[in-house]
């Protein structure tokens, strides 16, 4: 019943979990416009990268993290010259909607004091991209050391968001894209862009799969229609 149709001219895009809304909409639009067939798969950037490395039938890889793109590039799994920094994002400090906390993000701000006994929810700074950026931002602001022990490290940004939505954690660090859509949290501060390396979502064609239909979807991703959708969900299109 479920044939392995990896050979058909359907384009497969492996895309980071945090892009799920936008990429799903773009794919639907692409299909609606009868420009081709496309199937998106969403999982953690790391999972997808490893799968592509093991020969997964992906044509396009959209990563939330340049590191995993580097990993594939190093293993010669990318079609040379197709890598492109597609999106940008921001990280923000959020709190539950009914929170009365006020806080200004600047050098050495008293995050630890505000947290008290409670936790700061963020993606695991060891591997979740949003967490890595968050840690870098806090470090450059000089407050990381005072809060390391108060960090609840989540499996992904969504889990961190859920902790703040549930008010289990009074503060959290997530992408502005996540904060924009959740109705249960508010943004209490945006981290200065210079406090962390630019947040970049690179995209590339997978080596050997640069079919015309894949290339045309690549172009579509860079086009105006896609841009509108990305921006609707809070991404910066670069």
Which residues contact another protein (rule: CB under 8 A)?
1-2, 4, 6, 12, 14, 17-18, 20-21, 24, 39-44, 46-48, 50-51, 54-57, 67-68, 70-71, 119, 121, 124, 126-128, 151-156, 158-159, 161-163, 166-168, 178, 181-183
Q: In the numeric block, which tokens belong to residue 124? A: 């695991």
Give me the least distance between CB of 11 and another protein, in Å please.
13
Cβ nearer to another protein, comparing 30 with 68: 68
Cβ nearer to another protein, comparing 98 with 104: 98
Cα–Cα distance measured from residue 205 to residue 188, given in angstroms and rounded to the nearest whole number = 38
Give me the least distance between CB of 17 and another protein, in Å please.
4
Q: Return left, alpha or beta for 157; rule: phi > 0 is left, psi -120 to 50 is alpha, else beta.
A: alpha
Cα–Cα distance measured from residue 196 to residue 17, given in angstroms and rounded to the nearest whole number = 22
Given a contact cutoff of 8 angstroms between Cβ atoms, the answer to whether 73 and 60 are in contact is: no
Neighbours of 81 (CB within 10 A): 9
Cβ nearer to another protein, comparing 103 with 152: 152
Give me the least distance between CB of 180 and another protein, in Å please.
8
Cβ nearer to another protein, comparing 34 with 183: 183
Cβ nearer to another protein, comparing 86 with 185: 185
Cα–Cα distance measured from residue 142 to residue 193, given in angstroms and rounded to the nearest whole number = 15
Q: In the numeric block, which tokens belong to residue 84? A: 């492109």
Give me the least distance between CB of 106 and another protein, in Å please.
27
Give me the least distance between CB of 128 and another protein, in Å please.
7
Neighbours of 211 (CB within 10 A): 15
Cβ nearer to another protein, comparing 47 with 140: 47
Which candidate, 127, 145, 138, places its Cα nearest to that of 172? 138
Give me the least distance between CB of 234 and another protein, in Å please.
10
Angle between helices 212-222 and 224-232 (to 10 degrees): 50
Length of the chain: 238
């Amino acid at each position: 019943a479920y044939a392995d149709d990896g050979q058909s001219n359907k384009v497969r895009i492996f895309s980071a979990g945090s892009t799920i809304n936008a990429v799903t909409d773009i794919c639907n639009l692409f299909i609606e416009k009868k420009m081709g067939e496309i199937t998106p798969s969403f999982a953690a950037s790391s999972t997808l990268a490893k799968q592509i490395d093991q020969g997964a039938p992906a044509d396009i890889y959209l990563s939330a993290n340049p590191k995993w793109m580097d990993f594939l590039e190093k293993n010669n799994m990318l079609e040379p010259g197709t890598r492109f920094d597609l999106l940008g994002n921001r990280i923000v400090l959020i709190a539950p909607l009914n929170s009365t906390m006020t806080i200004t993000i600047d050098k050495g701000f008293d995050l630890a004091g505000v947290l008290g006994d409670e936790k700061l929810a963020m993606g695991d700074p060891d591997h979740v991209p949003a967490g890595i950026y968050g840690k870098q931002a806090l470090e450059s602001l000089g407050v990381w050391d005072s809060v390391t022990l108060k960090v609840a490290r989540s499996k992904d940004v969504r889990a961190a968001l859920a902790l703040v939505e549930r008010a289990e954690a009074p503060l959290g660090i997530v992408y502005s894209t996540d904060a924009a859509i959740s109705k249960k949290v508010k943004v209490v501060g945006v981290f200065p862009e210079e406090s962390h390396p630019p947040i970049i979502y690179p995209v590339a064609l997978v080596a050997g799969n640069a079919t015309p239909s894949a290339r045309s979807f690549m172009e579509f991703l860079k086009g105006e229609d896609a841009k509108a959708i990305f921006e609707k969900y809070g991404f910066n299109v670069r």
